[in-house]
Structure 1
Amino acid sequence: MLSLFIAYFVTSLLYQERITNLVEEILITNGKKFIQTYESAPSANLIPFMQNFSGLTGNLLQLYNKDGKPLLDEKNGEIQVDPIYIKTVLAGDIARDINKREPYPPIIGLPFQVDGEPYALFLTVEKNSIEEEIMNSIHIMYIIILFFGSFLILVAARYFVNPILRLTDATKNMAKGKFDFELHTKRKDEIGLLTVSFNEMAKELAKLDRMRQDFVSNVSHEIQSPLTSISGFTKALKQKKMSEESRLHYLTIIEEECERLSRLSENLLRLSYLQQETHPLKVRSYRLDEQLRKVVIALEPQWAAKEIEIDLQLEAMRIQADEDQLYQVWINLLSNSIKFTPKHGKIYIEAAMKEDQNVVSITDNGPGIPEEEQEDIFTPFYKVDKSRNNTVKGNGLGLSIVKKIVDIHNGNIKVSGRLGEGATFTVKLPK
Structure 2
Amino acid sequence: MKRIRLKSIYTKFILIISIVLMLSSTLALSIVSGYTIQLLYNPLVKMMDNKVSELKRMSDEFDIPPENFVSLADNSFMMVKFYETKEALLDDNEVVSKDVIDAIDAGEISKYYPEKFIHRKMSLYLITRIDEKWVMIHPVINSEVFTEVGNALRQALLLSMIFTILLMLIVLKRLVKPLKKLTRATQKVAEGNFEVEVSYKSEDEMGQLVANFNTMVMELQNMEYLRKDFVSSVSHEFKTPIASIGGFAKILKTDGLNSEQRKEYAQIIISETERLSKLSSNLLRLSSLENQSIIDRTQFFDLDEQIRRVVVLLEPGWGRKHLELELELSKIRFYADEELFQQVWINLIENAIKFSRDSGKLIIRASVISEQVKVFIEDTGMGMTESTVQRIFEKFYQGDSAHKTEGSGLGLSIVKRIIDLYNGKIEIHSEVGVGTRVVVSVPIVKNNEL
Give the TM-score, by structure 1 length. 0.83
Q: Residue 416 of structure 1 aligns to which amino acid in structure 2? A: H
Task: Name the structure 1 match of 2:139.
Answer: 123
Q: When the two structures are aligned, how many residues end up with a matched partner?
A: 412
Question: Cα deviation per residue 1:370-424 (whole Å; 9 max; x = unaligned)?
Answer: 334434322222221x25343x111111111111111222212222234444332
SS at match of 1:185: coil
Task: Name the structure 1 match of 2:371.
Answer: 356
For residue 388 of structure 1, the aligned residue among 383, 402, 405 is 402
Q: Contact 1:24/1:107 (CA < 8 Å) preserved in 2?
A: no
SS at match of 1:307: coil
Deviation at 1:183, TM superposition (A): 2.6
For residue 69 of structure 2, the aligned residue among 49, 62, 77 is 49
Question: Do the aligned partners of residues 123 and 143 (structure 1) sit closer, same or farther apart at CA in structure 2, a change above 3 Å counting?
Answer: closer
Work out whether 1:233 is the aligned partner of 2:248.
yes
Deviation at 1:148, TM superposition (A): 3.2
Unpaired runs of 5+ residues, structure 2, are: 1-17, 103-111, 445-450
After the TM superposition, which residues 257-336 of structure 1 pair with which residues of structure 2 at under 5 Å, given as runs?
A: 257-277=272-292, 279-336=294-351
Question: Cα deviation per residue 1:205-234 (whole Å; 9 max; x = unaligned)?
Answer: 111111111112222222222111111111
For residues 429 and 347 of structure 1, the distance between their equivalents in structure 2, rounded to whole angstroms, comes to 22
For residues 357 and 18 of structure 1, the distance between their equivalents in structure 2, rounded to whole angstroms, comes to 76
Task: Name the structure 1 match of 2:94.
Answer: 85
Work out whether 1:191 is the aligned partner of 2:211.
no
SS at match of 2:94: helix
Answer with 299-308 or 276-285: which moved more: 276-285
Work out whether 1:370 is the aligned partner of 2:390.
no
Q: Contact 1:308/1:344 (CA < 8 Å) preserved in 2?
A: yes
After the TM superposition, which residues 408-419 of structure 1 pair with which residues of structure 2 at under 5 Å, given as runs?
A: 408-419=421-432
Answer with 258-267 or 43-52: which moved more: 43-52
Answer with 47-56 or 294-303: which moved more: 47-56
Task: Name the structure 1 match of 2:15.
Answer: none
Question: Do the aligned partners of residues 145 and 91 (structure 1) sit closer, same or farther apart at CA in structure 2, a change above 3 Å counting?
Answer: closer
Q: Residue 419 of structure 2 aligns to which amino acid in structure 1? A: V
Deviation at 1:200, TM superposition (A): 1.8
Give the TM-score, by structure 2 length. 0.80
Question: Do the aligned partners of residues 120 and 232 (structure 1) sit closer, same or farther apart at CA in structure 2, a change above 3 Å counting?
Answer: same
Task: Name the structure 2 match of 1:400.
Answer: 413
SS at match of 1:349: strand
| Backbone CA RMSD of aligned residues | 3.3
Task: Name the structure 2 match of 1:76.
Answer: none
Work out whether 1:4 is the aligned partner of 2:21.
yes
Q: Contact 1:89/1:109 (CA < 8 Å) preserved in 2?
A: no
After the TM superposition, which residues 190-269 of structure 1 pair with which residues of structure 2 at under 5 Å, given as runs?
A: 190-269=205-284
Unpaired runs of 5+ residues, structure 1, are: 69-80
Task: Name the structure 1 match of 2:439.
Answer: 426
